[in-house]
Amino acid sequence: MTRGQRLKIYVIILLIIIPVFLSGCWDSIQLDKLSIVSGLGWDINLDTGDVTLTYQSIVPSQIKSTSSTSGSGEQKGGGALNTIQLDHSTGSSPYDALSRYTQHGSRIPYYRHTQVFIFGKDGAEQGIYPFIDTVARNPAGRPNILMAVSEKKASDILGVQNGMESIQAIGMAEEIKLSAAFSKYPEVTFLEFANRLMSKTTAPIAPMIGIFLETGPDGKKIQKIRITGTAVFKGDSMIGQLNERESSGLLWAINKIKKGFVMIPEASLEIVRAKSKIVPELQDDKIEITIEIDEESNLIEYKGRKDLTADIVQELEKGQAKEIKSQVMAAVEKSFSLDADVFGFGDAVHRKYKNEWKNLKPMWDEVYPNIKVVVKVKTHLNEIGDVNKALMKK
């Protein structure tokens, strides 16, 4: 056999052997042996301290059948319910509950596509640290997963079907992201939550989700989920919440305003761009924080029935500034009353006053409610829309 022929034989042998290794003998994962968990819910039974985990898993075969009917545009009925499957398992700790999936499923749970973690209100008030630790430690826990708190129990939220999306958890995640894009409620990923947890002074936050009854097009009452507030944590336990106005104020202060609307008595304006900065000042142990907000907006609704002049535009700008300022102050007041630094004032002071921070940090709980907060808002009205005169005068 010549050398060339021998080489060819070796190459062929290699080509046959290599694909065997590529799929991974020990680690080969077959799709039909997996249950892809799209949402995970966490509840604590107050009496026994047991943790109940709710898995929302995707049934891949059902998704195809519903997408073929999506063209009809009506509320999906029973078909969509089959795309997901809810399972519960209970145990004394998060991983104990996770490990009991064999009790209710025929497949191994696969967490790499999880969209959202939901915590029941009772569970959140007890403290969610064991869960956070599991997610951070487990390689399947991605930093992008959204966190949310449910008003009552997480298992209820995960059972509500969503109208538009065939997979409920994806719909919920998109709803959270949409509300964050429109600057109503914050969107908190696991990484952001964990970072706030690690900073010993900043309070973690998460959007709150509740269930509402609505009448569907066919007259029957159906459940829908809606984002209703922002949960505020101290450490890993929930201590309170911010309502819609306060949540907006919080977003203004921490520079998370993207699109959205500002409503003032005479007009409604659409936010084009907004930037905010938190500037701390430390003088003789007294902390003063200035929140500087810069905002640009367009006019989309004017109820004044007058022709628009430069003076009116200025008035609108002043009105906007007042409204934004009051939203932020509402958030500040609420956070003072909860004694939870949701804005990250502590971190801002730490960044600027490195040496004094060592003394301030242990006393932050007492220092925080006494901080003087000054809000400076600069607004600018860009466009007034297609018309500049009133359609109907007073």
The whole-angstrom separation of Cα 205 and Cα 340 is 10
Q: Residue 56 has which token pair?
A: 């929302």
**Region near other proteins per CB under 8 A, out of 30-38, 101-109, 324-332, 347-355:** 347-355
Signed CA dihedral, 67, 69, 75, 78: sign only: negative
Pick one of 5, 16, 19, 21: the residue that binds other proteins (CB under 8 A): 21
In this structure, which long-range contacts are made by residues 269-272, counting pairs with CB atoms below 8 Å and at least 24 apart in sequence?
Answer: 269/297, 269/298, 269/299, 269/300, 269/316, 269/320, 269/381, 270/297, 270/298, 270/299, 270/300, 271/183, 271/295, 271/296, 271/297, 272/296, 272/297, 272/298, 272/382
Asked if 144 touches other proteins (CB under 8 A), the answer is: yes
The pairing of beta strand 146-150 with beta strand 205-215: parallel
Which residue, 100 or 256, is less far from other proteins as judged by CB? Answer: 256
Q: State the minimum distance, in angstroms, from the CB of residue 21 to other proteins.
A: 7
**Region near other proteins per CB under 8 A, out of 141-149, 222-230, 263-271, 292-300:** 141-149
Asked if 143 touches other proteins (CB under 8 A), the answer is: yes
The pairing of beta strand 261-263 with beta strand 237-242: unpaired
Which residue, 251 or 267, is less far from other proteins as judged by CB? Answer: 251
The whole-angstrom separation of Cα 187 and Cα 206 is 7
Comparing C-alpha atoms, which of 222, 248, 20, 43 is closest to residue 125? 43
**Region near other proteins per CB under 8 A, out of 21-29, 49-57, 89-97, 229-237:** 21-29
Signed CA dihedral, 99, 104, 109, 115: sign only: negative
**Region near other proteins per CB under 8 A, out of 58-66, 73-81, 225-233, 348-356:** 348-356
**Region near other proteins per CB under 8 A, out of 56-64, 99-107, 320-328, 349-357:** 349-357
Pick one of 351, 359, 374, 383: the residue that binds other proteins (CB under 8 A): 351
Which residue, 161 or 202, is less far from other proteins as judged by CB? Answer: 202
Q: Residues of 350-384 as b/e, b for ≥16 C-beta within 10 angstroms?
A: beebeeebeebeeebeebbeebebebebebebeeb
Asked if 25 touches other proteins (CB under 8 A), the answer is: yes
Q: Residue 120 has which token pair?
A: 């029941």
Asked if 139 touches other proteins (CB under 8 A), the answer is: yes
Asked if 24 touches other proteins (CB under 8 A), the answer is: yes
Asked if 99 touches other proteins (CB under 8 A), the answer is: no
Which residues make beta-bridge pairs with 32? none
Which residue, 139 or 217, is less far from other proteins as judged by CB? Answer: 139
Site size for other proteins (CB under 8 A): 20
The whole-angstrom separation of Cα 152 and Cα 389 is 49
Asked if 134 touches other proteins (CB under 8 A), the answer is: no
In this structure, which long-range contacts are made by residues 318-321, counting pairs with CB atoms below 8 Å and at least 24 apart in sequence?
Answer: 318/379, 319/264, 319/265, 319/266, 319/267, 320/262, 320/264, 320/269, 320/295, 320/377, 320/379, 320/381, 321/377, 321/378, 321/379
Q: State the minimum distance, in angstroms, from the CB of residue 360 to other proteins.
A: 13
**Region near other proteins per CB under 8 A, out of 94-102, 157-165, 350-358, 361-369:** 350-358
Q: Residue 240 has which token pair?
A: 């309170």
Q: State the minimum distance, in angstroms, from the CB of residue 118 to other proteins.
A: 20
Residue 71 CB neighbour total at 10 angstroms:
6
Q: State the minimum distance, in angstroms, from the CB of residue 329 to other proteins.
A: 23
Pick one of 100, 142, 224, 234: the residue that binds other proteins (CB under 8 A): 142
**Region near other proteins per CB under 8 A, out of 121-129, 195-203, 226-234, 285-293:** 195-203
Which residue, 27 or 218, is less far from other proteins as judged by CB? Answer: 27
DSSP H or E stretch at residue 293: strand 286-302
Pick one of 88, 100, 352, 361: the residue that binds other proteins (CB under 8 A): 352
Asked if 26 touches other proteins (CB under 8 A), the answer is: yes
Which residues, 175 to 194, sit near other proteins by CB under 8 A? 189, 191, 194
Residue 286 CB neighbour total at 10 angstroms:
11
Catalog residues that contact other proteins under the rule CB under 8 A: 21, 24-27, 136, 139, 142-144, 189, 191, 194-195, 198-199, 350-352, 354
